[in-house]
Amino acid sequence: DVKVTQSSRYLVKRTGEKVFLECVQDMDHENMFWYRQDPGLGLRLIYFSYDVKMKEKGDIPEGYSVSREKKERFSLILESASTNQTSMYLCASTENSPLHFGNGTRLTVT
């Protein structure tokens, strides 16, 4: 069974802080994704990566960056957290379809 692990379930950070959200998958998947989930908006793609050191912008990349130094790990970085980045963040991985999701990180920026 595919396991996608997000290191934190809940995070509280202050405005302006640099925030790292970590995601690890154990199935040697090529493709990894970061989404944010907000009520009434569904899931929106922030960034994705189809290989080590490769990254592509999703639909809402502003204010975020990512890092994929190893195949199993895909990090989402908020360079300077803002209150409008308070959200649920979901990581996913896949080889083809479908996506396999982690349990999410609920980030609150105060």
Partner 1 sequence: AQSVTQPDIHITVSEGASLELRCNYSYGATPYLFWYVQSPGQGLQLLLKYFSGDTLVQGIKGFEAEFKRSQSSFNLRKPSVHWSDAAEYFCAVAPQGGKLIFGQGTELSVKP
Residue among 58 and 63 whose Cβ is closer to partner 1: 58
Give min distance, CB of 76 to partner 1, in A.
Answer: 15
| Of the candidates 19, 27, 6, the residue with the CA atom closest to the CA atom of residue 71 | 27
Residue among 4 and 19 whose Cβ is closer to partner 1: 4
Give min distance, CB of 68 to partner 1, in A.
Answer: 17
Q: How far is Cα 2 from Cα 88, in angstroms, rounded to an integer? A: 21
Q: What is the dihedral of CA 87, 106, 41, 24, to 10 degrees?
A: 110
> Could you list the residues that contact partner 1 (CB under 8 A)?
4, 9, 33, 35, 40-45, 48, 58, 90, 92, 97-104
